[in-house]
A and B are shown apart, each in its own frame.
Chain A
Amino acid sequence: MLNVHRDICGYCGCCVSVCPEGALELIDAYLSVEKNCTNCGICAKICPLGALEVIDEKQV
């Protein structure tokens, strides 16, 4: 699953623009992740701050 580190995220929306599924949305000052996220990791790669991380659900 995609984990948003809210203390790192600067709610800039950079990730929203690259999400091929349209699964991310910047709602005012927080980022929402929809169910159709495929854990592809594109957003985690391009985040300027490193606020996004795809984590193994078994470890949660």
Chain B
Amino acid sequence: MKSKYDVLVIGGGPAGALAGKTAAEKGLSALIVEKRPAIGAPVRCAEGLGKEALHEFIDPDPRWISAEMTGATMVAPDGFCMKLGSQLAGSKVGYVLDRKIFDRELVWKAAEAGADIAVKSRASSPLMENGAVKGARIEYGGKTADVRAEVVIAADGVESKFSRWCGVDTTVPVREIMSSVQYVMADIDIDEHSTVFYLGNEVAPEGYLWVFPKGKRIANVGIGISGKKSGRGHRAKDYLDRFVKKNFPDGKTIEFIPGGVSVCRPLNCTVADGLMIAGDAARVVDPLTGGGIYNAMYTGRLAAEVAAVCIGKGDVSKKALMTYDRNWRESKMGKAIERNYHIKEYLIKQPDSKLNEIIHSVSNIHMKEFTTMNLIKEIIRVNPKLVLELGALAASLR
């Protein structure tokens, strides 16, 4: 660890790794600090990622792909199943990753590109000068070091504190935190090539329960419920335990993972003087699916690209860094977040009867491209009434 870098990245998840890697590739000196002793653990993720989304960043490698998916199933509150697949029957639509290895691979690629990495090293406060971020105080192994940087990229995850210390309010509204628990369960009867989503206010109020296969007879079995619906006796763990007892009574839990997923709108502004915020810390998780891997990698990479340009020009003011904020909001990803936020807001207000109606309307969907957007379009196509209910939003979905 040196005392000065062009770019200091807080957090060694997918956002931080892509930021560090990209910065190094652009010829900048970069340091990634990760507070945990190991990259990738604990996982805190259902580990699902679409085929195209992954391929945009990295070629798939069997070392960190647990399972390949050919379809998905949506289970209505009344138990009816909607099957989703590719137009090409049996073709691959996505992956369930092994994040412990995947995250490590991403950080390894950052290191290979030339970034420095420091684990069990925690940013405990920003270095501020005239209201601008100039680096961070790093605590590691009982020692403290001040690391100065032209730009700090805060990629410190759902529990992000760094940007708050710099004056950015990152508080997630109670109703928009998905209070989550996941078990990695072995020895269970599942379709090893299909993800399953259970919907309904009895199963997972204002959220969903998932079974994402990790291989033969093994899967991530997890749940996210709205923080608003959580409380003593009816927490995420209570709902999950009830489901597991009923559906996988003989399964063996080999890993236990609690977590929080934000499904709010992204931060109002993801930059400040000398600071950029990426990934879960920027609240750029897809509010409909809760998926955050792609968006983290996308914002992490973009942040470093913009940092490189701004550092090159010698201007890392908020105004200069705003290019990053504007670019991701105008991107396909940014637009999908905004659109999916509205769809999420619509869906969480629907009673189970309505969810049943929607899911019953189509028992099989074969998509040319397997995306959330195409699924929604198809559902709207067979439910013309929804166009009226969705109002202005519907126009953007055609």
A interface residues with partner B (beta carbon < 8 Å):
10-20, 22, 25-29, 42, 45-50
Question: CB < 8 Å: which of B36, B159, B256, B258 contacts A17?
Answer: B159
Some 30 contacts from A to B, beta carbons below 8 A apart, are A10-B256, A10-B258, A11-B42, A12-B159, A12-B257, A12-B258, A13-B157, A13-B158, A14-B159, A14-B179, A14-B258, A14-B259, A16-B160, A16-B161, A17-B177, A17-B260, A18-B227, A19-B171, A25-B161, A27-B35, A28-B120, A42-B227, A45-B227, A47-B179, A47-B230, A47-B235, A49-B181, A49-B237, A49-B258, A50-B237
Q: Are A48 and B161 in contact (CB under 8 A)?
A: no
B interface residues with partner A (beta carbon < 8 Å):
35-37, 42, 44, 120, 122, 157-161, 164, 170-174, 177, 179-181, 227, 230-232, 235-237, 256-260, 262
Question: Taking the nearest CB of chain B, how far is it from the CB of A46, in angstroms?
Answer: 4
The answer to whether A14 and B171 touch (CB under 8 A), given A48-B237, A50-B232, is: no
Question: CB < 8 Å: which of B173, B174, B260 contacts A13?
Answer: B260
Complex Cα–Cα for A39 and B165 (A)? 21
The answer to whether A50 and B235 touch (CB under 8 A), given A12-B44, A45-B227, is: yes
Question: Taking the nearest CB of chain A, how far is it from the CB of B221, in angstroms?
Answer: 14
The answer to whether A48 and B236 touch (CB under 8 A), given A12-B258, A14-B177, A17-B177, is: yes
Residues of A within 8 A of B258 (CB): 10, 12, 14, 48-49
A46: nearest chain-B partner, CB-CB: B227
Question: CB < 8 Å: which of B161, B164, B174 contacts A18?
Answer: B174
Number of A-B residue pairs with CB-CB distance less than 8 Å in the complex they form: 94
Q: Are B231 and A14 in contact (CB under 8 A)?
A: no
Residues of B within 8 A of A45 (CB): 174, 227, 230-231
Complex Cα–Cα for A60 and B58 (A)? 54
Q: Which of B35, B159, B235 has the most CB of A within 10 A?
A: B159
The answer to whether A14 and B235 touch (CB under 8 A), given A28-B120, A45-B230, A48-B259, is: no
Complex Cα–Cα for A45 and B36 (A)? 26
A-B pairs, top 4 by smallest CB distance, nearest first, are A14-B260, A13-B159, A46-B227, A10-B258
Residues of B within 8 A of A20 (CB): 171
The answer to whether A18 and B171 touch (CB under 8 A), given A47-B235, A48-B235, A50-B235, is: yes
Residues of A within 8 A of B256 (CB): 10
Question: Taking the nearest CB of chain B, how far is it from the CB of A44, in angstroms?
Answer: 8
Residues of A within 8 A of B257 (CB): 10, 12
Q: Are B227 and A22 in contact (CB under 8 A)?
A: no
Residues of A within 8 A of B177 (CB): 14, 17-18, 46
B173: nearest chain-A partner, CB-CB: A18
Q: Are B227 and A16 in contact (CB under 8 A)?
A: no
Question: CB < 8 Å: which of A22, A47, A48 contacts B164?
Answer: A22
Complex Cα–Cα for A42 and B100 (A)? 31
Complex Cα–Cα for A8 and B289 (A)? 28
A51: nearest chain-B partner, CB-CB: B258
Residues of A within 8 A of B231 (CB): 45
Question: Taking the nearest CB of chain B, how far is it from the CB of A33, in angstroms?
Answer: 13
Residues of A within 8 A of B179 (CB): 14, 46-48
A25: nearest chain-B partner, CB-CB: B161
Question: CB < 8 Å: which of A25, A28, A46, A49 contacts B36?
Answer: A28
